[in-house]
Structure 1
Protein backbone atom coordinates (compact mmCIF):
# COMPACT_ATOMS: atom_id res chain seq x y z
CA UNK A 1 0.00 0.00 0.00
CA UNK A 2 1.30 3.43 -0.95
CA UNK A 3 1.60 6.25 1.48
CA UNK A 4 -0.28 9.10 -0.19
CA UNK A 5 0.93 11.71 2.29
CA UNK A 6 4.37 11.74 0.68
CA UNK A 7 4.39 13.60 -2.59
CA UNK A 8 7.45 13.93 -4.74
CA UNK A 9 7.63 16.99 -6.95
CA UNK A 10 9.57 16.85 -10.15
CA UNK A 11 10.30 20.01 -12.12
CA UNK A 12 10.74 23.67 -11.42
CA UNK A 13 8.52 26.26 -9.87
CA UNK A 14 7.61 29.43 -11.71
CA UNK A 15 9.80 31.49 -9.35
CA UNK A 16 12.84 29.33 -10.15
CA UNK A 17 12.27 29.67 -13.90
CA UNK A 18 11.80 33.46 -13.65
CA UNK A 19 14.97 33.73 -11.58
CA UNK A 20 16.99 31.85 -14.21
CA UNK A 21 15.50 33.99 -17.00
CA UNK A 22 16.40 37.17 -15.09
CA UNK A 23 19.98 36.01 -14.52
CA UNK A 24 20.42 35.07 -18.19
CA UNK A 25 18.97 38.45 -19.20
CA UNK A 26 21.37 40.33 -16.96
CA UNK A 27 24.35 38.34 -18.24
CA UNK A 28 23.24 38.96 -21.82
CA UNK A 29 22.88 42.68 -21.21
CA UNK A 30 26.45 42.79 -19.95
CA UNK A 31 28.01 40.36 -22.42
CA UNK A 32 26.53 41.59 -25.72
CA UNK A 33 27.98 45.14 -25.65
CA UNK A 34 31.37 43.73 -24.66
CA UNK A 35 31.18 41.24 -27.50
CA UNK A 36 30.27 43.94 -30.04
CA UNK A 37 33.15 46.13 -28.85
CA UNK A 38 35.51 43.19 -29.29
CA UNK A 39 34.20 42.64 -32.83
CA UNK A 40 34.63 46.32 -33.71
CA UNK A 41 38.15 46.33 -32.29
CA UNK A 42 39.17 43.32 -34.38
CA UNK A 43 37.56 44.83 -37.51
CA UNK A 44 39.74 47.92 -37.14
CA UNK A 45 42.69 45.80 -38.25
CA UNK A 46 41.12 45.62 -41.71
CA UNK A 47 41.43 49.40 -42.13
CA UNK A 48 45.04 49.40 -40.95
CA UNK A 49 46.06 46.53 -43.22
CA UNK A 50 44.43 48.08 -46.29
CA UNK A 51 45.91 51.52 -45.57
CA UNK A 52 49.38 50.01 -45.28
CA UNK A 53 48.84 48.15 -48.56
CA UNK A 54 47.82 51.36 -50.32
CA UNK A 55 50.82 53.13 -48.79
CA UNK A 56 53.16 50.46 -50.17
CA UNK A 57 51.57 50.77 -53.60
CA UNK A 58 52.03 54.55 -53.46
CA UNK A 59 55.68 54.09 -52.51
CA UNK A 60 56.14 51.91 -55.59
CA UNK A 61 54.58 54.69 -57.68
CA UNK A 62 56.95 57.21 -56.16
CA UNK A 63 59.88 54.95 -57.01
CA UNK A 64 58.69 54.50 -60.59
CA UNK A 65 57.42 58.03 -61.35
CA UNK A 66 59.09 60.22 -58.69
CA UNK A 67 55.63 61.41 -57.66
CA UNK A 68 52.77 59.98 -55.64
CA UNK A 69 50.14 61.67 -57.80
CA UNK A 70 51.45 60.69 -61.25
CA UNK A 71 48.76 59.82 -63.80
CA UNK A 72 50.46 56.48 -64.42
CA UNK A 73 49.92 55.44 -60.81
CA UNK A 74 46.72 53.40 -60.77
CA UNK A 75 46.27 53.42 -57.00
CA UNK A 76 46.48 57.23 -56.98
CA UNK A 77 43.56 57.35 -59.41
CA UNK A 78 41.59 54.89 -57.26
CA UNK A 79 41.69 57.01 -54.10
CA UNK A 80 41.55 60.62 -55.33
CA UNK A 81 38.98 62.89 -56.98
CA UNK A 82 36.15 61.55 -54.84
CA UNK A 83 37.05 57.90 -55.49
CA UNK A 84 37.49 55.49 -52.60
CA UNK A 85 38.72 51.96 -52.10
CA UNK A 86 36.63 49.61 -49.97
CA UNK A 87 38.31 47.22 -47.60
CA UNK A 88 37.86 43.49 -48.12
CA UNK A 89 34.74 43.14 -45.96
CA UNK A 90 33.43 46.64 -46.78
CA UNK A 91 33.88 47.90 -43.23
CA UNK A 92 35.91 50.95 -44.30
CA UNK A 93 36.41 53.16 -47.33
CA UNK A 94 39.85 54.63 -47.99
CA UNK A 95 40.48 57.94 -49.70
CA UNK A 96 43.60 60.01 -50.17
CA UNK A 97 44.93 63.49 -50.63
CA UNK A 98 48.05 63.32 -52.80
CA UNK A 99 50.68 65.72 -54.04
CA UNK A 100 53.88 64.90 -55.87
CA UNK A 101 55.80 64.43 -52.61
CA UNK A 102 53.17 63.80 -49.91
CA UNK A 103 50.03 61.82 -49.25
CA UNK A 104 47.51 61.44 -46.49
CA UNK A 105 45.29 58.37 -46.47
CA UNK A 106 42.01 58.37 -44.53
CA UNK A 107 39.87 55.37 -43.63
CA UNK A 108 36.26 55.97 -42.63
CA UNK A 109 33.71 53.37 -41.52
CA UNK A 110 31.12 52.62 -44.19
CA UNK A 111 27.54 53.30 -43.18
CA UNK A 112 25.52 50.17 -42.61
CA UNK A 113 28.59 48.15 -41.60
CA UNK A 114 29.39 46.85 -38.13
CA UNK A 115 32.00 49.62 -37.84
CA UNK A 116 29.50 52.44 -38.38
CA UNK A 117 28.71 52.40 -34.66
CA UNK A 118 32.35 52.51 -33.59
CA UNK A 119 32.61 55.73 -31.58
CA UNK A 120 36.01 54.81 -30.11
CA UNK A 121 37.80 55.05 -33.49
CA UNK A 122 35.79 57.01 -36.04
CA UNK A 123 38.60 57.48 -38.59
CA UNK A 124 42.22 56.55 -39.27
CA UNK A 125 44.91 58.52 -41.11
CA UNK A 126 48.34 57.60 -42.43
CA UNK A 127 50.89 59.87 -44.12
CA UNK A 128 53.90 59.23 -46.35
CA UNK A 129 56.14 59.81 -43.32
CA UNK A 130 54.43 56.94 -41.49
CA UNK A 131 52.60 59.26 -39.11
CA UNK A 132 49.41 57.62 -37.88
CA UNK A 133 46.44 59.32 -36.29
CA UNK A 134 42.86 58.55 -35.41
CA UNK A 135 39.75 60.30 -34.21
CA UNK A 136 37.17 59.11 -31.72
CA UNK A 137 36.65 58.81 -28.00
CA UNK A 138 39.63 56.43 -27.63
CA UNK A 139 41.77 57.80 -30.46
CA UNK A 140 45.03 57.17 -28.60
CA UNK A 141 44.32 53.42 -28.53
CA UNK A 142 43.22 53.01 -32.17
CA UNK A 143 46.59 52.34 -33.80
Structure 2
Protein backbone atom coordinates (compact mmCIF):
# COMPACT_ATOMS: atom_id res chain seq x y z
CA UNK A 1 0.00 0.00 0.00
CA UNK A 2 1.51 3.32 -0.94
CA UNK A 3 2.16 5.81 1.82
CA UNK A 4 0.95 9.36 1.65
CA UNK A 5 3.58 12.01 1.87
CA UNK A 6 4.39 13.12 5.39
CA UNK A 7 2.51 10.29 7.08
CA UNK A 8 4.16 8.12 9.68
CA UNK A 9 4.02 4.37 9.76
CA UNK A 10 4.65 4.18 13.53
CA UNK A 11 1.62 3.57 15.74
CA UNK A 12 1.27 6.17 18.48
CA UNK A 13 -0.65 5.12 21.61
CA UNK A 14 -1.99 7.62 24.11
CA UNK A 15 -2.70 6.77 27.76
CA UNK A 16 -1.38 4.15 30.17
CA UNK A 17 -0.76 0.49 29.61
CA UNK A 18 -2.36 -2.11 31.85
CA UNK A 19 1.01 -2.94 33.42
CA UNK A 20 1.63 0.69 34.38
CA UNK A 21 -1.84 0.94 35.91
CA UNK A 22 -1.34 -2.26 37.92
CA UNK A 23 2.01 -0.98 39.27
CA UNK A 24 0.30 2.18 40.52
CA UNK A 25 -2.51 0.15 42.14
CA UNK A 26 0.06 -2.09 43.87
CA UNK A 27 1.96 0.92 45.24
CA UNK A 28 -1.25 2.46 46.60
CA UNK A 29 -2.21 -0.86 48.24
CA UNK A 30 1.18 -1.16 49.95
CA UNK A 31 1.05 2.42 51.24
CA UNK A 32 -2.51 1.89 52.51
CA UNK A 33 -1.55 -1.31 54.31
CA UNK A 34 1.06 0.66 56.24
CA UNK A 35 -0.72 3.98 56.72
CA UNK A 36 -4.22 2.93 57.82
CA UNK A 37 -3.22 0.84 60.90
CA UNK A 38 -0.76 3.54 61.92
CA UNK A 39 -3.48 6.18 61.63
CA UNK A 40 -5.95 4.10 63.68
CA UNK A 41 -3.32 3.61 66.41
CA UNK A 42 -2.67 7.36 66.48
CA UNK A 43 -6.40 8.18 66.74
CA UNK A 44 -6.81 5.67 69.60
CA UNK A 45 -3.90 7.18 71.51
CA UNK A 46 -5.20 10.72 70.89
CA UNK A 47 -8.63 9.78 72.27
CA UNK A 48 -6.98 8.23 75.34
CA UNK A 49 -4.91 11.36 76.01
CA UNK A 50 -8.05 13.49 75.70
CA UNK A 51 -9.78 11.25 78.26
CA UNK A 52 -6.81 11.63 80.62
CA UNK A 53 -7.15 15.39 80.30
CA UNK A 54 -10.84 15.17 81.07
CA UNK A 55 -10.14 13.04 84.16
CA UNK A 56 -7.75 15.79 85.28
CA UNK A 57 -10.48 18.39 84.77
CA UNK A 58 -12.90 16.32 86.86
CA UNK A 59 -10.19 15.94 89.51
CA UNK A 60 -9.70 19.72 89.59
CA UNK A 61 -13.45 20.12 89.97
CA UNK A 62 -13.48 17.66 92.89
CA UNK A 63 -10.62 19.51 94.60
CA UNK A 64 -12.41 22.87 94.18
CA UNK A 65 -15.54 21.32 95.69
CA UNK A 66 -13.44 20.03 98.60
CA UNK A 67 -11.97 23.48 99.31
CA UNK A 68 -15.50 24.91 99.44
CA UNK A 69 -17.17 22.37 101.72
CA UNK A 70 -14.23 20.35 103.14
CA UNK A 71 -15.69 17.16 101.63
CA UNK A 72 -15.84 15.61 98.19
CA UNK A 73 -19.25 15.39 96.50
CA UNK A 74 -20.89 12.01 97.14
CA UNK A 75 -21.38 9.74 94.15
CA UNK A 76 -25.17 10.10 94.28
CA UNK A 77 -25.31 13.90 94.56
CA UNK A 78 -26.08 16.22 91.66
CA UNK A 79 -22.71 17.94 92.13
CA UNK A 80 -20.71 14.75 91.53
CA UNK A 81 -19.53 13.43 88.18
CA UNK A 82 -21.09 12.30 85.89
CA UNK A 83 -24.27 14.15 86.94
CA UNK A 84 -22.20 17.31 86.89
CA UNK A 85 -20.91 17.17 83.34
CA UNK A 86 -17.91 19.20 82.23
CA UNK A 87 -17.43 20.38 78.66
CA UNK A 88 -14.65 17.83 78.09
CA UNK A 89 -17.16 14.99 78.56
CA UNK A 90 -19.63 16.18 75.91
CA UNK A 91 -20.20 14.15 72.74
CA UNK A 92 -18.32 16.73 70.66
CA UNK A 93 -15.22 16.28 72.85
CA UNK A 94 -14.57 12.84 74.41
CA UNK A 95 -18.08 11.69 75.33
CA UNK A 96 -18.46 9.44 72.28
CA UNK A 97 -15.30 7.54 73.20
CA UNK A 98 -15.34 7.47 77.02
CA UNK A 99 -17.90 7.40 79.83
CA UNK A 100 -16.88 9.17 83.03
CA UNK A 101 -18.00 8.15 86.48
CA UNK A 102 -17.26 8.45 90.16
CA UNK A 103 -16.63 4.99 91.62
CA UNK A 104 -19.10 4.69 94.55
CA UNK A 105 -17.22 1.76 96.09
CA UNK A 106 -14.05 3.78 96.67
CA UNK A 107 -15.51 7.28 97.06
CA UNK A 108 -16.53 9.06 100.25
CA UNK A 109 -16.43 12.56 101.71
CA UNK A 110 -12.65 12.21 102.19
CA UNK A 111 -11.63 10.39 99.01
CA UNK A 112 -12.72 9.70 95.45
CA UNK A 113 -11.84 7.62 92.40
CA UNK A 114 -12.75 8.90 88.95
CA UNK A 115 -13.08 6.47 86.05
CA UNK A 116 -12.94 6.87 82.26
CA UNK A 117 -14.37 3.76 80.63
CA UNK A 118 -13.85 3.35 76.87
CA UNK A 119 -17.00 3.12 74.73
CA UNK A 120 -17.74 1.83 71.23
CA UNK A 121 -14.80 1.52 68.86
CA UNK A 122 -12.42 2.97 71.44
CA UNK A 123 -13.21 0.01 73.69
CA UNK A 124 -12.31 -2.53 71.01
CA UNK A 125 -9.21 -0.64 69.85
CA UNK A 126 -7.73 0.25 73.25
CA UNK A 127 -7.47 -3.09 75.02
CA UNK A 128 -3.94 -2.13 76.00
CA UNK A 129 -5.14 0.44 78.56
CA UNK A 130 -8.86 -0.16 79.14
CA UNK A 131 -10.52 1.80 81.95
CA UNK A 132 -8.42 4.66 83.30
CA UNK A 133 -8.76 5.80 86.93
CA UNK A 134 -7.54 8.76 88.94
CA UNK A 135 -7.98 9.23 92.70
CA UNK A 136 -7.67 12.12 95.16
CA UNK A 137 -3.95 11.52 95.74
CA UNK A 138 -3.18 11.56 92.01
CA UNK A 139 -2.71 7.80 91.74
CA UNK A 140 -3.35 6.65 88.18
CA UNK A 141 -4.31 3.13 87.18
CA UNK A 142 -5.52 1.25 84.11
CA UNK A 143 -7.30 -2.04 83.56
CA UNK A 144 -5.64 -3.17 80.32
CA UNK A 145 -2.60 -5.27 79.49
CA UNK A 146 -0.20 -2.38 78.83
CA UNK A 147 2.16 -0.76 81.30
CA UNK A 148 1.19 2.33 83.26
CA UNK A 149 3.82 4.38 81.39
CA UNK A 150 2.30 3.37 78.03
CA UNK A 151 -1.19 4.32 79.15
CA UNK A 152 -0.55 7.46 81.16
Normalising by the residue count of structure 1, what TM-score does the alignment of the two structures yield? 0.81
- Alignment equivalent of 2:135, drawn from 114, 127, 142: 127
Gaps of 5+ in 2: none
In structure 2, the residue matched to 1:64 is 68
* Structure number with higher strand proportion: 1
Deviates more, 1:114-123 or 1:91-100: 114-123
Deviates more, 1:125-134 or 1:8-17: 8-17
Gaps of 5+ in 1: none
- The answer to whether structure 1 residue 9 and structure 2 residue 28 are counterparts is no
In structure 1, the residue matched to 2:113 is 104
| Equivalent pair of 1:84/1:94 in contact (CA under 8 Å) | no
Q: 1:63 to 1:3 in 2, by over 3 A?
A: closer
In structure 1, the residue matched to 2:98 is 92
Alignment partners' CA distance in 2, 1:12 and 1:55 = 61
Task: Tell me the alpha carbon deviations over residues 70-97 of structure 1, each in whole angstroms, 9 at most, x when there is no partner.
Answer: 58x6432x43xxx695823322111112
Q: Tell me which structure has the larger Cα radius of gyration.
A: 2
- Alignment equivalent of 2:27, drawn from 15, 23, 29: 23
Task: Tell me the alpha carbon deviations over residues 7-26 of structure 1, each in whole angstroms, 9 at most, x when there is no partner.
Answer: 23322111211121121012
| Equivalent pair of 2:55/2:116 in contact (CA under 8 Å) | yes
Root mean square deviation, CA, Å: 2.5
How many Å apart are 1:33 and its aligned residue? 0.8
